[in-house]
Structure 1
Amino acid sequence: MAEAAATSVLGTISRGHLECPICCCRFTDPKILDCLHSLCLNCLEELISRQQPRAEEIPCPVCRRVTAVPDTGLQGLPNCFFLSALVDEFNKQERLLGDAPADTRKCEECDEGLEAVSRCLDCCKFICTKCLESHERMKSMRHHRIIGQEQNRFDVTPINTRKKATPQCNQHTNQNLCFYCETCKTLACGKCAALDHRATEHEYREVEDAIRSYRQDVGEILQRFEQSKEEFKVADDSLTNARNRLSIIVTRACTNITTKEEEEIAKIRDKSRFLRDKVSQIVAERDRQFERAQQSNRDKMEWAEQIVATVNDLMQQADGFELLDLKPKVMHNLEFQKELEFEQAQHRLSFIGVNCPDVVTDTDLGEVLQEERWELREEISDVVLAEFECATGVVCLSNGDIAVIDSDKKQLMNFTSTGKYKTTGGEKLNELWGVAATSEDLLLVTDEGFVKVFDSNLQFIRQFEPSQNEDDVDTDSRLTDIAVDKNNRIAVAIGGRKLISLHHQDGSFITAIPNGMVGNDSAIAIRERIIFTNYEESRLLCTTYTGDEVFNINTSLDGEPVRPCGVCCNDAGDIYVSVNLKEGEDGEVHHYSAGGVFIGRVARGLYCPLGLTFTPSRDLVVADKFSVKIFKRV
């Protein structure tokens, strides 16, 4: 069974690494092309015979890259010594494993048919007891390696693919190759260095130094390739997020179109179909653009990884002299790093919407919007019973009601979706800033160091205090903001303790997520990942529930930093941030992708925007200090 397993392993390795891509047989006199792929010499000769009249070049059958044929012919191509040695050793091991079982082997040195008891590894023959004595007496065979019968049954001689002898100079056959001329990119002996490479423009060094420098250069290039892999991942994730957003947005757009169609179905069925087709056509073209960009990036990375894998194999298998002999080809192939650039997502192409005005028989159903636009739909201000002094937080309930906290008046107020005042909470609050709502319409308000829970009528239910370590007793534990995900997990930002505390809906503790960027001015959003801001540092950050950082970016506009105040996410995972362009005035709302890429400006001309949220109908609600503004996508 052991011999069968060894044979199977040898066969698998042979098929995967030791067979010529043309003849599909083990390499015979393998030659290395400029692309670092190896082929049998005979196969190359047959291939070039079919390439007339362009016999001066030969294309690689694996990657199609062209290699110039040397003036001396295909024989002048570099030999792949380590592959030749591997093939010879594999052939030897297969012959060894393919022989008859040890108990039936006969001596191969004599004609007496005696049972073999040993094997000479240098002669590669089985021998009997008598021949073993003769073998050991002969001076020329005294140092041969002899192994016993049982040892031979399972022993596989280690494969040695490296040449131990120092290569000799082809021009001066009694001289060792001991120098490498950087100018000529070739190995040289002492005489060559003195006669052919002595001019001042020739720069040569000892072989060991050249090998060491060569390996260092290759290592640096491969290290930069690792950075390129990270850039590729960022670009690929960005494109994936853009495609996902496009899918969600177009579904929403088609839903809006269908709703409008049903309202006007008797008059404009045909126009509705035309409009949907137009949306689908635009989306299909954009999706193809994203797909082409992703495929292009993946093709570049696959091509680069193939080159790197080939170079790594060469670095591991070939000896120093072979590496230096192949240095021009290897370094030429590694120049791909200079051209390895990845296409980034054009986020403006990931949006599509529909503007559907009231229509009559002779008008279109609507217009396709290829860029996101918002307009002010409603403003809640100057309410007699609820005039705002400092509206800092806002959240929407499932019925469309809008709950607002006023940090100066220390009140929690409730409004209808149209801005009509409903009620004010009776519970006395002290220092509130953030508000959030669960899927069951429970309102969560941060009040100093506690999270207070209210029902939809603003009646107090209970409260809980985010847990803290004994070492943090004297630390400022005021809660700066709060958010709830779709599974009703509650994230609370605690600026003084530099962490985000995660809780179940009943207030029970899940985990603490430390982060030095959590400050007393941080706002927070949560949607499978935790997004939060740092006002003083002008930063927007994202971490996982385990604290692993996803991104950490500057919030800026035209190169100038802007202060992030509030943050929220829509159902597609996109991030919306309220910012102050100047201290205390001139605010906007900015739009970022789920990966933290700036997309555009949503709302401008705000006074001092703070908290923000989305209504069930996907309108954007912003607490703008002295008013609450509702924006509608058009």
Structure 2
Amino acid sequence: MSDLLLSFQGSQDAGLSAQLLSEVSGRDDEQTEARAEKITCPVCRRETQVPDGGLQSLSSSFFLSSLVDEVKQQEAVLGDASAPTATCDCGEGKEVIWRCLDCSDNLCQECRKAHERVKSTKDHRIISLGDWHKSKIPPAEHSKPITRMCTIHHDHPLCFFCDTCDTLICSMCAALGHRSAEHNFLNIDDLIRSFRSEVENILQKFEKSRQHFKSTEKSIQHARNRLQKKLAQARSDIDAKAEAEITKIRNKAKLLTDKVNEIGQERVSKYEKALTHNHEQMERADQTIAAVNDLMSQADDFELLELKPKVMHNLEFQELKCEPANYGLSFIGVRFQDVVSDADLGEVCVSEKWQLKEEFGKRGTGDEEFDFATAVACFRNGDIVVTDTILKRLSLFSSTGQYKTSVAQGDAKHQLEAPFGAAMTHDDLLFVTDKKKVKVFDNELQFVREFTPSADDADGQSESYLTGVAVDSQRVAVADRGRKLISVHNLDGSLISSISNSMVDYYLAISNFGCLVFANFEGQSFFCVNFEGKEMFSVKTFVNGKAAKPAGVLCDDDETIYVVVHPGKREDSEVQRYDSNGALVATVAQGCSIR
């Protein structure tokens, strides 16, 4: 075997000669002579006839040549430092006991103590020489490449992995015990790179899945929070409806009671009049009877005869006019209707469904007509304001669409040149973008103030063109399509921050989860950024699987994002609802016609 090792380190042909010698040694001469003309291939283990030219005439094995080159390269790289010497590196001839993994020094007991005292080396990892031989290296990451030595060929590093045997091998193992064709081995560095790449790909899938679960968790929480708000709103609406219906019933009861009282008073009055009339008639008869009786009892015969004509005249019988008892007027009652059971108070809606409530206006240039209605906002009293970018006007309508007034056109403060976006605060302040300015009006479209979000145009700087505007309780955000930025201001117009983004376009909204949401029409996307400009997410918009253009965004109080999109034909536009993470929840309205 030693002959074979020496020959392998020398050359391929010499190795084959040594192999041949080792195979025939120890055998009798007859066997030697019989087999001297054949050799066994070190790779496939098949017997091969030795040609007349001897071993030198055999074809070269490039596999073995590469292994020889690998061994030489390993020895050149590692040199004497790759294998621990018998004595300490201090040069005093002391026995080596320890090995430093960080600086690859061989240490005696005294040098180890010194190694641990020095500040620059006290944190180095030191293991026993025996463990180092056995490759029992701690599983921590190392700043230097780790070389493990073969447990069979102690002076050769492990450089291959035999996939067939599932074990690490050195170059000598590859040439000897694993040289047959069924052994498939790979370079350790290539294997590790492949393994790390595979692990990295799997980890990326796990991370993607984790992010999906995280996003889904947020979506579920958003849906749950929205449900809680909707439940509270539904309960409040039911109570309000019940009170309203109770009020209606009480009002109807009062009307019915008033009618009963009116009829009753009228009939009681009739009965009172009849009683009074009859009492008067009875008193008159009583008076006549009493007067005649007094005369008959007190007057003598001659006086009676003299008064006979008068007495008889008073006694002439006249039928008394007596009011009869009208029992018909004595009845009154109420026939009730079953108000409660005739119709339910309401119906529970378990799914959201939008329906067109009202529509007003038509194509044209009149007061109640539009050419390109761009932005819509509502005052608390229900009045509606609409900007028209073609007609360049801002108009005010009642809640039923009746025209009220409009802002005069012009470049004066109280006028508008080319209004685009409109947004309303909770206290009825209307913010309108007008070229380079933002103007503020009250609920009667009276001018309040104005401010300029961007500085004056400078050389090399794009011209400012303000489009979308959005407000919350404290801030107003303005989209500058010309300069591709969003400026955030206090409600008085003072600047808070400015966010640059190449996708800034026409439409903008402020969410109550602390973000700005804006759409890019031609980019067929909408974006969400925080107030520092960091993108939280971006979403491509689709209708029936086809890319669609967003033509408006709105953020609801429950963190829902609504986006108006159309796939090319504006009459096929629809309203889509997204959660606060940008996930599509549902399409809430279809067949909307958008100019």
Does structure 2 conserve the Cα–Cα contact (< 8 Å) formed by 1:122 and 1:145? no
Is 1:461 aligned with 2:460? no
Aligned to 1:102: none
Aligned to 1:606: 592
User: Equivalent residue of 1:230, what SS?
Assistant: helix
Q: 1:208 deviation in Å?
A: 5.2
Does structure 1 conserve the Cα–Cα contact (< 8 Å) formed by 2:393 and 2:418? no
Aligned to 2:508: 524
The 1:171/1:258 distance shift into structure 2, 3 A limit, reads: farther
Aligned to 1:561: 547
Q: 1:513 deviation in Å?
A: 0.7
Does structure 2 conserve the Cα–Cα contact (< 8 Å) formed by 1:391 and 1:405? yes
Q: 1:588 deviation in Å?
A: 2.4
Q: 1:178 deviation in Å?
A: 5.2
Does structure 1 conserve the Cα–Cα contact (< 8 Å) formed by 2:394 and 2:419? no
The 1:435/1:472 distance shift into structure 2, 3 A limit, reads: farther
Q: 1:593 deviation in Å?
A: 1.7
Aligned to 2:501: 515
Q: 1:466 deviation in Å?
A: 1.1
Give aligned pairs, total.
378
The 1:236/1:201 distance shift into structure 2, 3 A limit, reads: farther
User: Equivalent residue of 1:564, what SS?
Assistant: strand
Matches within 5 A, 1:208-607: 210-211=191-192, 213-264=194-245, 360-361=340-341, 364-381=344-361, 385-426=367-408, 427-468=414-455, 471=458, 475-487=462-474, 489-519=475-505, 522-527=506-511, 528-607=514-593
Q: 1:495 deviation in Å?
A: 0.7
The 1:258/1:184 distance shift into structure 2, 3 A limit, reads: farther
Matches within 5 A, 1:34-53: none
Q: 1:511 deviation in Å?
A: 1.2
User: Equivalent residue of 1:603, what SS?
Assistant: strand
Is 1:164 aligned with 2:163? no
Does structure 1 conserve the Cα–Cα contact (< 8 Å) formed by 2:436 and 2:454? no
- Distance across 2 between alignment mates of 1:179 and 1:478: 66
The 1:171/1:441 distance shift into structure 2, 3 A limit, reads: same
- Distance across 1 between alignment mates of 2:491 and 2:132: 71
- Distance across 2 between alignment mates of 1:556 and 1:177: 56
Q: 1:200 deviation in Å?
A: 2.7
More deviation, 580-589/556-565: 580-589
- Distance across 2 between alignment mates of 1:380 and 1:161: 86
Does structure 1 conserve the Cα–Cα contact (< 8 Å) formed by 2:97 and 2:109? no
Letter in 2 for 1:392: T
Aligned to 2:166: 185
Letter in 2 for 1:475: S
**1:371-403 deviation per Cα after TM superposition (whole angstroms, max 9, x unaligned):** 210111222226985333332211112233222
Task: Provide structure 1 residue ranges, at least 5 long, that are not aligned to the other structure.
Answer: 1-120, 124-140, 269-357, 609-624, 626-634
- Distance across 1 between alignment mates of 2:339 and 2:548: 42
Does structure 2 conserve the Cα–Cα contact (< 8 Å) formed by 1:410 and 1:428? no
- Distance across 2 between alignment mates of 1:429 and 1:223: 54
Aligned to 1:314: none
Matches within 5 A, 1:96-245: 144-145=110-111, 160=126, 163-165=131-133, 167=135, 179-188=160-169, 193-194=174-175, 197-207=178-188, 210-211=191-192, 213-245=194-226
The 1:243/1:491 distance shift into structure 2, 3 A limit, reads: same
Q: 1:261 deviation in Å?
A: 3.6
- Distance across 2 between alignment mates of 1:151 and 1:392: 77
Does structure 1 conserve the Cα–Cα contact (< 8 Å) formed by 2:97 and 2:108? no
- Distance across 2 between alignment mates of 1:584 and 1:224: 39
Q: 1:218 deviation in Å?
A: 3.6
Q: 1:491 deviation in Å?
A: 0.8
User: Equivalent residue of 2:238, what SS?
Assistant: helix
- Distance across 1 between alignment mates of 2:112 and 2:164: 49
Letter in 2 for 1:549: E
Q: 1:455 deviation in Å?
A: 1.0
User: Equivalent residue of 2:219, what SS?
Assistant: helix
User: Equivalent residue of 1:435, what SS?
Assistant: strand
The 1:184/1:441 distance shift into structure 2, 3 A limit, reads: same
Letter in 2 for 1:242: A
**1:438-470 deviation per Cα after TM superposition (whole angstroms, max 9, x unaligned):** 222111111111111111110112221112376
- Distance across 2 between alignment mates of 1:431 and 1:577: 25
Does structure 1 conserve the Cα–Cα contact (< 8 Å) formed by 2:368 and 2:402? no
What is the TM-score normalised by the length of structure 2? Answer: 0.56
User: Equivalent residue of 1:582, what SS?
Assistant: coil
- Distance across 2 between alignment mates of 1:170 and 1:232: 47
Task: Provide structure 2 residue ranges, at least 5 long, that are not aligned to the other structure.
Answer: 1-95, 99-106, 136-148, 250-337, 409-413
User: Equivalent residue of 2:234, what SS?
Assistant: helix
Q: 1:524 deviation in Å?
A: 0.7
Letter in 1 for 2:510: I
Letter in 2 for 1:434: G
The 1:535/1:164 distance shift into structure 2, 3 A limit, reads: same
- Distance across 2 between alignment mates of 1:169 and 1:462: 84
Q: 1:549 deviation in Å?
A: 0.5
- Distance across 2 between alignment mates of 1:210 and 1:588: 54
**Could you tell me the percent identity over the aligned residues?**
42
**1:511-544 deviation per Cα after TM superposition (whole angstroms, max 9, x unaligned):** 111101113xx21111221111111111111111
Letter in 2 for 1:235: T
**1:150-188 deviation per Cα after TM superposition (whole angstroms, max 9, x unaligned):** 979xx9885546942255777889987554212332224
User: Equivalent residue of 1:258, what SS?
Assistant: helix
- Distance across 2 between alignment mates of 1:378 and 1:485: 26
Letter in 1 for 2:464: S
- Distance across 2 between alignment mates of 1:474 and 1:193: 69
- Distance across 2 between alignment mates of 1:410 and 1:399: 25
Does structure 1 conserve the Cα–Cα contact (< 8 Å) formed by 2:527 and 2:539? yes
**1:37-77 deviation per Cα after TM superposition (whole angstroms, max 9, x unaligned):** xxxxxxxxxxxxxxxxxxxxxxxxxxxxxxxxxxxxxxxxx
Letter in 1 for 2:545: G
C-alpha RMSD of the superposition? 3.8
Q: 1:498 deviation in Å?
A: 0.7
Does structure 2 conserve the Cα–Cα contact (< 8 Å) formed by 1:412 and 1:458? no
The 1:398/1:160 distance shift into structure 2, 3 A limit, reads: farther
User: Equivalent residue of 1:452, what SS?
Assistant: strand
- Distance across 2 between alignment mates of 1:583 and 1:428: 35
Q: 1:363 deviation in Å?
A: 5.2
User: Equivalent residue of 2:341, what SS?
Assistant: coil
